[in-house]
Structure formats: structure tokens, C-alpha cells
A and B are shown apart, each in its own frame.
Chain A
Amino acid sequence: MVFNRNLRALIVVILLAGACLAFQRRGRLPFLDDEDEPEPYPADAGEKTEWVFARLRYNSYRQGAGMWGVRGSWSTDYPKAERHFAQGIRRLSRVHVRSVEEVVDLDTDKIFDYPWIYGVEVGHWDLSDSQAAKLREYLTRGGFLMVDDFHGSIEWEIFMRSMSRVFPDRPVVDIPNKDAIFHMLFDLDNRVQIPGIVMFYTGQTYEQDGVTEKWGGIYDEKGRIMVAMCHNMDLGDAWEHADMPQYPERYTSMAYRIGLNYIIYSMTH
């Protein structure tokens, strides 16, 4: 009898855990996930380089604090997006790039060794006060944050809940076309909304109510961009699926150009 009760409890726990995982990964297409199609580890992964794609690992809004162990939103497109993008940077510029990424978080000082970081799906992030303070210190010292793949008003709201604690006194503004960031390596006056892979199923370039793309930024007191936001867009998907015939090349090209401009901007301003 006791055995049956324990067995029933175990089954309930397993079912609940499965439901949680399914909830967390809803809307994701299993066949597109890297785990189903793992990216080979490059032979030159150990090369010491000037620039490294540093992916920001954060607590997701629906996660409890300290649950790094569960793959959260931070790892979306990981690691294929950055490895594809790294190859593009090598091909298109003189930036000395490592072929593999580095994962950094806001709980240690390792982040300060990577003056450029990338945050994906930040419409799900949830920074603690100490993490927000560290990100502020990082950006004030000269670090650069690019955020991407968050859509619609709800995710914006969630993003801003943390971001406004990073810089309570600095507004998010639309980066004007004339800003140097759009004219570094490529002149990008005619930018387009970069859709995610979900476009295949919905037939539209936006998600949720994020119809129009937003090129947002937070500037420091000397007019330099510290945080660049690609809202209502998914450059990560465009990098990740650069080798996918179905994904339109024009979006991948634009995503590469934007990414490169952001990187070179961060290394010059």
C-alpha cells in the first residue's frame, strides 16, 4: 500500500516536471533545436582571440533564482547562432574572432573580460538587484550589450522591468539612422525587420503584437550607445539558420551586417 502511494507520488512529480518543461519550451520547434542537430565543435576552438561572442546567461522571468541548471531563454539558438555568426565576422572583417562562444553571467566578474555581450529573449529575463548593479557597472566601465529576440508589448514590459533597474535614469531611445552604429562597416539606412523561424508557420515577420521593429538604444552621457536593442526581431535565428535554404538570405545578410556594425561600434566608441 505504502509502495503504491510512493509510486503514485513519483508519477505525479514526473508528470508535473514534464508539464513544466513543456510549458517552458512551448512554441519552440523541436526539429530546429540544437540538441536535435548538434553543432560540431570547431578544431580551432581553443584559439586566443581579441573578440569572443559572449552570451549572457540570466534568470528567466518564470524561473526561480539560481536555476541555471535548467536551460532557460538565455540559451535560445545556442550555440549554432554564434558559431555561424563568428564565421561571418571572420569572412567579412579583420576582427580576430574565436570560433566558439563564451557564456557569461552577472554573478561573477568574468563578464568584465568580455566587453561585448549578447542577450537573447530578454523578454523573459529577470535580473536581481545585484545583477542589475553589476550590469550597470559593466556598461559604465565600457561594456556593450546587444539584446535580441524579444517581441511585443508584454516582453518589452518584462525586459524593461529589469533594464530600468540597471539604468533608472537613462531612457531607451530609438537610435536614429544617422547614428554611427548604422554606418560602421555597412551603411544600414534601409534596415528591415529580421524575422525568426516562426515566420514559416505564421507567414508573418513579427510575433505577438510586435508588428514594427524597434532599433532601441541606451546612451551614456557622452552620446555613446551602451545597450542596443533589436526588439520585435530575431537576429539570432537569422544567424542560426544562415545555412538553412528555406530561411531567406536577405534577412541573414542584414542580420550579419547589423551584428558586425554593432561589434565594430562597440570596439571603436
Chain B
Amino acid sequence: MFEALFLYPYRLFTRGEFLFASGWPAWVLLLLMLIAIAGTGYWVWRHHGGNFAGRRWIAVAALQGLVLALLLFLLWRPALRVTALKPQQNVIAVVVDDSRSMQLKHEDLPRLEAARKLLSGGLLEKLRNRFQVRVYRAGNYLERIQGLDALTGAQPATHLGLSMKQMMEESASLPIGAVVLLTDGSDNSGGLEADTLSEIRRRKIPIHSVGFGAEKLARDLEVLDLDVPQRALSDSRIGAAITLRHFGLNGQKAKLALLADEKIVASREVILGAEGVPQTETLLFNAGLAGARNVRASVVKLEGEENPSNNAQSRLINVESLKPRILYIEGEPKWDFKFIRRALEGDRNLQLTTMLRTTQNKIYRQGVEDPKELEQGFPGKEEELFKFSGLIIGGIEASYFTPQQQAMIRNFADRRGGGVLFLAGRGAFADGGWAASPVAEMIPVTLADRKGTFHRDPATAELTGAGRDSLIVRIEEDAKKNEERWRKLPYLANYQETGPAKPGATVLVDALPTSKGRHPLFVTQRYGRGRVSVFASSGTWRWQMLQDVKDLSHEVFWQQTLRWLVTETPPQVSATPSKQLLLDDGQVEFRADVRDPAYKPLAGATVEARILGPGGAAAMLPLTPDSSQTGLFTARWDAPKSGNYVVEVLARNGKEEMGRDVFTLSRQDGIAENFHAGQNRQLLEGLSRQTGGNYYTPASAQALPDDIAYSEAGITTRETKDLWNMPALLLALFGAKAAEWLLRRRWGAV
């Protein structure tokens, strides 16, 4: 229809350059048009104005003016200048996705079969009639093939970006006119890199994509993501957030299981929610003993599932045998002190060192490493305090600490990256003068500016919205049961009014005094490299004393809270990979943050990584200083094959060892291809749009040979195509005159 009216396809108009072939200036045309319209208007008003009622003459004048303007426009010879490929002198690269996902169905045929049918059914021949055609297959890499029989659909991955990059490199000396990409868009590496895209655009090569496969499968359940911490303390309870998505399985029950080293450690039956909407389920499990742990989330295949190979995902967790130390200083004997200590006794991986002020001048120490430790009281040097990973400030006045110690408390979170927890008490928060101290800045609540905020009155604890989602306060694995459990906890023996939470802080639990009101009870926030939290009660001991001895609410709450406090506390040497999970591509960057004993960045260190790979293969890699940040050392590395790798990073300052850190990473080949198996039309449309090409469905791809001819890449010629003879313009002329005649008849002015 478009071509019938405008002579040429729409795409030609989007690519071509409009011009007037007469060569006369456009401003003259514009001026003459204005004169014609104004003159016509004046003439109609002067000579026929009286024949029309009211202002009807204006419509007649406008139509006559339009006719004159259109005639003038045609006299100027409008035309379209386009760049077109020269026949038989250009190469068209036809790239067919040969990955495993192309074996999934496109309507009734496998996607690859549908692509083959499209090409052999005339598309390839039409292209060959006008261009030289080279056929490639894309998978892990790009490979030229001589015939369509070479397509097997056996490639374990699709790297469209890498394939296009390879294409650009190999065809640097070829007159590539366009790329035709037949794929489902199920790319495993995130599409094109910016430099490849920029090279394609520089060479003006359009990528025309033909998409295969339904955008969503009819019946499929997929494990979209498995989110677990990269590191965990041994024997700790950690959460795995498993994101599921399904199509066509609304309301069905699915069995979800979590396996650690192929042993089931948690499982649950889930009811599938709305179609296409990611649904996250959390399973808690024990990290077990130290070592690299392979964790796999899996859902049992449901009846009629089209793609069962996307029902599981794996991750690697580095379970560490560290025993982080927490220093707890308390201003006076209190029951919670004892019961927190007891709760931590059940945790083999946390070391609690306590300082209890029993009299004005006596400190009772427990959990010290030697009799001399903390003998002089709270640490006076950063090196002494920073040996700990967590710090608990109980009900003790701010004035107990010197200004230097107060600065150290702040630096403990900010620079050292430790966790600081403030507890309630007669000497805590505003009652202890903390509001006026420099430490107030790091406390996640705005402290009240008054005394008498500590109340020995009962209060219940209630989870907030954020608390319901948080794993820190998850006593029960199931979120709803957990909420119910919190609701049934005995009331706290006391609470403290702290003031409102600061912007950026998260309130996990509120305290509801039995009298009235609601106050933040458990608040957390990040501060610098570390974490800070407030627990505004010292009355959780009632959770222990008022419940059956088998009830572990109190123990679990404090163990999880204190583990949260220290789990992310970095060591002096902290190393991480840029990606822990390498899918089909081994490229990875190692980063090491190296600090001195006061946790100041250490620039002059010598840092190296020792890598242990599958089958015991070992490698050494030096890390070099990164100019972007003092104390940061980096190195790039390519994991050579699929499997798990353990990397130990060691840093020295001269001959003195600054520390070492271990992380794990995993390269998985051929796994990513199973996921996101629906056609990624968005990716293909974006790719074509960005390169000046078009997206086609197999049905609309018949127009491709004609469209492809107009390209600025390769060997081209410029053509000028007249527009004055467009049927649409002639129709407009006749239409205007016909409309004028009809109006005149209607108004009786013929």
C-alpha cells in the first residue's frame, strides 16, 4: 500500500536524502507558495466573498491555495537521493546461530530448521542474484561454512558480540554490504561490546536480524537466578535467594531443592505465581565445614515443560574457617550481657571478647586471648582495636571513651570496614551523652536530645516491611512463619527511645511498648566500608527465660545479628574476582585491596595470586598497582577451562606479610545457553536499530533482499529517485479540487 502511494518502500525514505532536482532554491519555492496562498485568498474574498455566507470563502480560498502550492512544489522536482550497493560487487554475510537453543521450537519446527528452510526456500538465492554471499555459523565463535548442512545446533553457547567482533576483524578487507543474522537472540555474554558496536557503525555495516522462536515459551519453569554470598563462615546459616520464572504454569506446585555438594540441604514446595513475573524464594541452609562448596538450586521438571535444562543453577561459595572476633564493652552488669554471651557460645565461628564494668574502676574481661589483652581497658590504639571484626557498645556513657577512642570507634566502621552495634541501657544513646559526641554521626538513628529515654517497661517486637524481607531477623525459614514467630515472642524487658531512623538507614524491627507508641528497635545502615546498627533494648533475655529451653529464637537472633555484623568485615588483604561465575568466557580480573595494620591503603606492597584450577593445575599471577585507587592491585586472567578455581592472594610489604585472602570462582561452559531460551527480540531490534539495519520475522524476511540493497557500507553507488510522479501527490491535487467543487455545490455557489 505504501509503495502504491509513494512509489518506493518506506525504508528508502528513512535512509534517503530529500532534495529538489530542479536546483532552484527552496526559499524561492517557499516565498512563491506564500504569495500564491495569500493572492488566492485575496482574489476569492474580493470577487466571490459576497457569494458565501459568513467565512465559508476561507475554506474555498485555502483549497485553491493548496492546489497552487502543490503545483509549485512539483515544479521544483522533489527527489530522494539514496546510497545503494552495487550489484555483484558486495558481500552479504549471512550469520546463522548454531547454538543449542536453536533446537527449541519455532512454531512446529526447530528454530534452526526454520532458519534453514527460510534460507533454502529462496532468500539465499535472491541474495545471491544480487550479491556475493558468505554463510557463517555462530556459537562460541564465528566460523564460515560452505553449505547449510554444516549447521547442527550443537554449539554450547551463543556469543553474538564475539561473533560480530570476529566478523569485523576477518572482513576488514572485504566489501561487506550488510550482515544478515538469523538467531533467537539468546546471547550468553550480554550482547555487543561498545568497541565492536562502534567499529560496525564506523564502517556503516547494517545488521539485519531475523528472529526465531516465540518470545516466551508456552510451558516452562526456569531458575532465573541463584543468589548466595560468595563467602560464608563455616557452620553459619546462610540464605539462598532463588528466583524462578514460568510461563503457562500459573498456580502449579513446584518442588524446589537446594543442594550443597550434591546433598540436599533445604527444600520447599512453592506455588507458582503470575506468569512471566520473577518470583524469589529464600532457602536457608548451613554452610557446613570450611572449603569451596558447590551450591545448586533445582526445581523438579513439571509435566509438559518445553525446556527442562533451565531448571537448575549452580554457584560456588567459599566457606571460610575464620573465627572473627567481636569486642563487646558493657557499662554495667545486665542480664542480656549474659544471655548474648550464652547465645554466642553455641556459635563455633564467632569469638566474643567482653569487657564488663562491674564497678566504677573494675572491668571484668572474658574471652581474651591472653591475660594481658585489654588489661588497660578499652583499646587506645587503632592496631589494637582493629584486630576485632565487630564492636558492640553496650549501655556505657560516651564520656567513658577519650576523644581519640571515639574517633577510633568511627574509623572502626569507616576505614577498617568493621561492624558496630549499639545496645540500649541506662548509659546508652541520648542518656549516655552520645548525641553530643562525634560518634553520633555514625549511629543510624537521630538521637533524642533529652535524658530519660531508657524505660524498664515491657515492649513487644514487630517486624517492619524491610524486616520481613531481611535474612538477619529470619528466625524461621519461611517468611510468613517468621513473622508469626516474632509476633509470639515474649515481650522485651525494656526498650529505649532512640529517635527516628536516619535517611538511608533500614528499620528491621520496631518496639511497641505495652503502654503506647512505636519506636525503632533494630536499625541498620552502611557507614564507610562497614556497617552500623542499633538494637534499642537490653531485654531480649526474656526470649530465653520465658520460652521453652528448646526454643532457639534468642540464640538464632543473636548469632545471625552478630554474624551479619562481621561477615563482610574485610581482612587486611581483601581479594575479589570481577565475576565469580564465568559463563563460557574465562576472562576475569582479580582485585586486591591491601591495607596496613591501621587499615590505611598500602601502596608499596608486592601482591601475587596463586591459582589452583581443575585437576590440580596451578598458576602464579602478579597483581600490579591500579592507578585509580591507592592500595588497589589488579591483574587480568583467563580461566582456561570449565571448572572450579581457588585463588589465594598474598601481599607483602617488604619481607613482612600483610595478609592473604582466598576466593573461589567457577567457569561454566554450555550452561548459559539453556537459560532465557525465548526469542530475545528486544536485543535483536536494538542491535539492528543501532547499526542501521532492520528486524524481521521469518514471515517478513522476504522483503530483506530489496531492503538490503540500500546500504552505505561496501561498494556503493548514489541514485536519485524522482518523487514528483508519486500517486499520492496527484491524488492530493485532484482531492483538493474535488473538495472545492463539492463545497461550492453544497453552499450553492457553483
**Interface: B339 (CB within 8 A):** yes
Chain B residue numbers with a CB within 8 Å of A138 are: 545
- Report B328-362 residues with CB < 8 Å from chain A CB: 331-335, 337-339, 341-342, 345, 354, 356-360, 362
Closest B residue by C-beta to A96: B332
Contact yes or no, B545 A185, CB < 8 A: no
**Interface: A137 (CB within 8 A):** yes
CA distance A20 to B169 in the complex (A): 111
Closest B residue by C-beta to A144: B338
**Interface: B20 (CB within 8 A):** no
**Interface: A269 (CB within 8 A):** yes
Contact yes or no, A92 B359, CB < 8 A: yes
- Report B509-568 residues with CB < 8 Å from chain A CB: 541-542, 544-549
Known contacts A48-B456, A184-B364, A268-B356; is-contact A93 B333 (Cβ 8 Å) = yes
Contact yes or no, A222 B345, CB < 8 A: yes
- Report B253-291 residues with CB < 8 Å from chain A CB: none
* Set B334, B362, B549: member contacting A141, Cβ < 8 A: B549
| Shortest distance from the beta carbon of B394 to any chain A beta carbon, whole Å | 12
**Interface: A113 (CB within 8 A):** yes
| Shortest distance from the beta carbon of B457 to any chain A beta carbon, whole Å | 7
CA distance A18 to B139 in the complex (A): 105
Mask of B352-383 contacts with A, CB within 8 angstroms, 1/0: 00101111101010100000000000000000
Q: Which of A92, A141, A222 has the most CB of B within 10 A?
A: A141
Contact yes or no, A93 B335, CB < 8 A: no
CA distance A137 to B547 in the complex (A): 10
Contact yes or no, B334 A93, CB < 8 A: no
Chain A residue numbers with a CB within 8 Å of B541 are: 115, 142
Chain A residue numbers with a CB within 8 Å of B345 are: 222
CA distance A72 to B223 in the complex (A): 69
**Interface: B667 (CB within 8 A):** no
Chain A residue numbers with a CB within 8 Å of B457 are: 48
| Shortest distance from the beta carbon of A130 to any chain B beta carbon, whole Å | 16
Mask of A93-137 contacts with B, CB within 8 angstroms, 1/0: 111100000000000010011010000000000000000000001
CA distance A51 to B338 in the complex (A): 13
* Set B332, B358, B542: member contacting A184, Cβ < 8 A: B358
Contact yes or no, A112 B546, CB < 8 A: yes
Contact yes or no, A50 B545, CB < 8 A: no
**Interface: A267 (CB within 8 A):** yes
Known contacts A93-B358, A142-B545; is-contact A267 B334 (Cβ 8 Å) = yes
CA distance A51 to B549 in the complex (A): 22
Chain A residue numbers with a CB within 8 Å of B362 are: 185
CA distance A267 to B338 in the complex (A): 5
| Shortest distance from the beta carbon of A6 to any chain B beta carbon, whole Å | 52
Contact yes or no, B542 A113, CB < 8 A: yes
**Interface: A196 (CB within 8 A):** no
| Shortest distance from the beta carbon of B555 to any chain A beta carbon, whole Å | 11
CA distance A142 to B341 in the complex (A): 11
Contact yes or no, A268 B549, CB < 8 A: no
| Shortest distance from the beta carbon of A265 to any chain B beta carbon, whole Å | 9
Known contacts A267-B337, A267-B338, A268-B356; is-contact A96 B549 (Cβ 8 Å) = no
Q: Which of B339, B345, B360, B549 has the most CB of A within 10 A?
A: B549
| Shortest distance from the beta carbon of B350 to any chain A beta carbon, whole Å | 16
Q: Which of B332, B341, B457 has the most CB of A within 10 A?
A: B332
Known contacts A49-B456, A93-B358, A222-B345; is-contact A267 B546 (Cβ 8 Å) = no
Chain B residue numbers with a CB within 8 Å of A115 are: 335, 338, 541, 545
* Set B331, B333, B357, B544: member contacting A267, Cβ < 8 A: B333
CA distance A146 to B335 in the complex (A): 17
Chain A residue numbers with a CB within 8 Å of B360 are: 94
Contact yes or no, A268 B545, CB < 8 A: no
- Report A150-173 residues with CB < 8 Å from chain B CB: none
Mask of B424-438 contacts with A, CB within 8 angstroms, 1/0: 001000000000000
Known contacts A48-B456, A50-B332; is-contact A143 B545 (Cβ 8 Å) = yes
Contact yes or no, A94 B331, CB < 8 A: yes
Contact yes or no, A95 B542, CB < 8 A: no
**Interface: A140 (CB within 8 A):** yes
Contact yes or no, A50 B335, CB < 8 A: yes
Please give the number of chain A residues whose Cβ is less than 8 angstroms from any Cβ of chain B in the complex: 28
CA distance A268 to B333 in the complex (A): 8
Contact yes or no, A141 B544, CB < 8 A: yes
**Interface: A198 (CB within 8 A):** no
Contact yes or no, A142 B338, CB < 8 A: yes
| Shortest distance from the beta carbon of A122 to any chain B beta carbon, whole Å | 22
Chain A residue numbers with a CB within 8 Å of B364 are: 184-185, 264, 268
**Interface: A193 (CB within 8 A):** no
CA distance A143 to B341 in the complex (A): 14
* Set A95, A109, A269: member contacting B338, Cβ < 8 A: A269
Chain B residue numbers with a CB within 8 Å of A266 are: 338
Chain A residue numbers with a CB within 8 Å of B358 are: 93-95, 184-185, 264
| Shortest distance from the beta carbon of A96 to any chain B beta carbon, whole Å | 6
Mask of A45-70 contacts with B, CB within 8 angstroms, 1/0: 00011110000000000000000000
Contact yes or no, A93 B546, CB < 8 A: no
Contact yes or no, B545 A94, CB < 8 A: no
CA distance A51 to B494 in the complex (A): 13
Known contacts A48-B456, A267-B337; is-contact A94 B357 (Cβ 8 Å) = yes
Closest B residue by C-beta to A47: B456
CA distance A185 to B545 in the complex (A): 25
Closest B residue by C-beta to A138: B545
Closest B residue by C-beta to A139: B549
CA distance A198 to B288 in the complex (A): 61
Chain B residue numbers with a CB within 8 Å of A264 are: 333, 358, 364
Closest B residue by C-beta to A116: B335
Known contacts A142-B545, A143-B545; is-contact A268 B332 (Cβ 8 Å) = no
Mask of B169-182 contacts with A, CB within 8 angstroms, 1/0: 00000000000000
CA distance A92 to B362 in the complex (A): 11
- Report B472-508 residues with CB < 8 Å from chain A CB: none
Contact yes or no, B545 A112, CB < 8 A: yes
CA distance A93 to B345 in the complex (A): 26
Closest A residue by C-beta to B426: A96
Contact yes or no, B549 A94, CB < 8 A: no
Chain B residue numbers with a CB within 8 Å of A143 are: 545
Q: Which of B341, B457, B545 has the most CB of A within 10 A?
A: B545
Chain B residue numbers with a CB within 8 Å of A112 are: 542, 545-546
Chain A residue numbers with a CB within 8 Å of B545 are: 112-113, 115, 138, 141-143
Chain B residue numbers with a CB within 8 Å of A140 are: 549
Chain B residue numbers with a CB within 8 Å of A94 are: 331-333, 357-360
CA distance A112 to B334 in the complex (A): 15
Contact yes or no, B359 A185, CB < 8 A: yes
| Shortest distance from the beta carbon of B245 to any chain A beta carbon, whole Å | 46
CA distance A263 to B332 in the complex (A): 13
Chain A residue numbers with a CB within 8 Å of B342 are: 142
Chain B residue numbers with a CB within 8 Å of A137 are: 548-549
| Shortest distance from the beta carbon of A103 to any chain B beta carbon, whole Å | 18
Q: B-contacting residues of A (Cβ < 8 Å)?
A: 48-51, 92-96, 109, 112-113, 115, 137-138, 140-143, 184-185, 222, 263-264, 266-269
A-B contact pairs, 12 of them (CB 8 A): A50-B332, A50-B334, A109-B546, A141-B544, A142-B342, A143-B545, A185-B359, A222-B345, A268-B333, A268-B354, A268-B366, A269-B341
Q: A-contacting residues of B (Cβ < 8 Å)?
A: 331-335, 337-339, 341-342, 345, 354, 356-360, 362, 364, 366, 426, 456-457, 541-542, 544-549
Q: Which 9 A-B pairs have the closest CB atoms?
A: A48-B456, A94-B332, A267-B333, A112-B545, A140-B549, A95-B333, A141-B549, A267-B338, A50-B334
Having A50-B333, A94-B358, A268-B337, one finds 6 other A-B pairs with CB under 8 Å, namely A49-B456, A93-B333, A112-B546, A185-B358, A268-B341, A268-B364
